[in-house]
Amino acid sequence: MSTTPQRSRWLPLAATALFACVLLSRKPWLLIRPEFWGDDGWEWYPDALHLGLDCLMVPVNGYLNSLQRLVALATASLPLLWVARVYAATGIAMQAACGAFLCSRRLDAAWPDVRSRLLFALLAMLLPNEAEFYGNLTNAQWSLAALACLVVCGTAPRGTVGWVFDTLVLLLSGLSGPFAPLLLAVVALRLWQARRQRADRRATLWRGAVLLTCAVVQGALVLSRPNHAALPTPLGATPAWAAQILFRQVLAGVEFGYSTAAKLPYGGFFGRDAVAIPLSLLAVMLFAIALRRGPALLAQFSLFALLIALAGLVQPHASTEMPQWHALARPPCGNRYFTLLSVAWMGAVLVLLRQRERALWGAGAVLLGLLLVFGIPRGWRVPNWHTDFADRARAWAAAPAGTVMRFDLIPPSDHPMVLVHP
């Protein structure tokens, strides 16, 4: 009796575990000394404690955050240190699940070259300019959105389990952030590409129906609070700042690592518009060529990534102290808007390497070389801001009723989490 079906059944779990280990190697102490990131301490944990199930209907930044709310509700009764561990583990699990799905057979048609797709999945786990995604519950919705995009790009599931998985991922992602309308654009592209494939067309229509339902729910909330997420600072949008954002957040961040991109001086050589603009235009040209010649999956994923980046540029939530685009040109500020675009850029580099033209192959070789020599080594360790959260969480567990305690969060800010012991 063949054991292939049984092995393939366990392959996604094995890939998830492998990628989780790769991710944890970038910050080995993550689960030993976990910390809350931003809304982990401002919204999810306090609301789960005080509001209970009612928190599911409380929007943050104008939309529902069902993934974060459900995890917070499930862990509200745990000791605070374990709550932080589960939050961090959720962030890691969401990222690892994206890598595992990239390795699945359901993407064979969208990216037939398995070896390059596996390399793409591994590079995604080693993204050099990852600053806001990594190991926290607040931004786990972005990884979930990436997984939802991969589900939309995949072939129709063969069994009930696959249909349930697709539906749950799309439903949870659609109700966790403003991603459903953007994913509908990918659905439309898939419908056009699969217009002669009845099974894939039926699956894509179902996925579109789920996402449309979520988009209506989230859209109603946004329309009811049109200025809920708006910041008082101006946008500060100019073509030069757009080039600086693209250059620093994506090109320099991927090729040279987060630490290098964050330290690029504005008065130095690479800080000049005369340098950033031509390099950004060259990157756009190479990216467009790669999308035209590369696998369908890369084009579909890139469409989603570009829409997210554009949405982040139109209405960013970046800074209350300076114009929004000026802040976005200072990594890691707003890094989340450009993380998926950075992943797509690495996929484009792999496509360029397979071209016959010397100029394109040479460009791909240089870009991959920079990524392997500078980007990944310098970006291996995820940026870390140390606080005494773990020590305070242990003290909180032994504190008497009525104790008031402040917990510093990451990234550093003037707004700690304040808890009163019940």
CB 198 within 8 A of CB 205: no
Q: What is the pLDDT of residue 4?
A: 41
Q: At what angle do helices 339-352 and 296-314 cross, to 10 degrees?
A: 150
The residues spanned by each domain of the chain are: 12-229+385-422, 231-380
Only one residue has tokens 């035209």, namely 292
Q: What is the pLDDT of residue 57?
A: 92
Residues with pLDDT less than 50, the chain:
1-7
Cα angle, residue 331 at apex, residues 124 and 416 outer, rounded to 5°: 100
Cα angle, residue 40 at apex, residues 38 and 42 outer, rounded to 5°: 70
Tell how far CA 63 is from the center of its chain: 17
**Counting Cβ atoms within 10 Å, is residue 179 exposed (0-12), middle (13-18) or buried (19+)?**
buried
pTM for the full model? 0.94
Q: How far is CA 118 from CA 25, 136, 253, 265, in A?
A: 19, 25, 22, 36
Q: What is the pLDDT of residue 90?
A: 97
SS3 annotation, 336-385: HHHHHHHHHHHHHHHHHCCCCCHHHHHHHHHHHHHHHHHHHHHHCCCCCC
pLDDT tens string 147-177: 999 999 999 998 999 999 999 999 999 999 9
pLDDT tens string 54-85: 999 999 988 999 999 999 999 999 999 999 99
Question: Which is nearest to 136 in space by CA: 99, 188, 168, 92?
Answer: 92
Q: What is the pLDDT of residue 236?
A: 92
Mean pLDDT score of the chain, rounded to an integer?
A: 91
Q: What is the pLDDT of residue 6?
A: 45
Q: What is the pLDDT of residue 226?
A: 59
Q: Could you tell me how many helices (H) and strands (E) the chain has, helices first?
A: 20, 2
